Amino acid sequence: MSAFSYSEAPWPVREDIPQAYQAYWQKLARPGSWWTGTERVAIAAESRNALECEFCRARKQALSPYNFEGAHRSDGDLPAVAVDAVHRIITDQGRITQAWVNNNVDEGMTKEAYVELVGVVVTVFSIDEFHHALGLPVEKLPTPEAGEISSYRPAVVSEDIGFVPTVPADGNVGNEADLWDGLRAANVFRALTLVPQTFKDWRAIANVQYLTFEGMGNLVKDATRAINRMQMELVAGRVSSINECFY
| pLDDT tens by residue, 88-140 | 999 999 999 999 999 999 999 999 999 999 999 999 999 999 999 999 999 99
Taking residues 212-232, what's their average pLDDT?
92
Q: What are 12-44's pLDDT values in tens digits?
A: 999 999 999 999 999 999 999 999 999 999 999
pLDDT confidence band for 2 (50 / 70 / 90): low
Decide if 6 is inside a domain: no
Same domain, 49 and 25: yes
Structural domain span for residue 79: 16-209
Same domain, 193 and 229: no
Instruction: Record the pTM.
Output: 0.94
pLDDT at 3 over 90: no
CB count in 10 Å sphere of residue 216: 12
**pLDDT of 186:** 86
Look at the chain and report how many structural domains it folds into. 2
Instruction: Concatenate the DSSP letters of all residues of 152-212 into one string.
Output: ---S--B-SSSSS-B--TT---GGGTTS-STT---HHHHTTTTSHHHHHHHHHHHHHHS--
Same domain, 205 and 224: no
Decide if 10 is inside a domain: no
Same domain, 163 and 201: yes
**pLDDT of 7:** 87
Q: What are 38-91's pLDDT values in tens digits?
A: 999 999 999 999 999 999 999 999 999 998 999 999 998 999 999 999 999 999
Same domain, 194 and 241: no
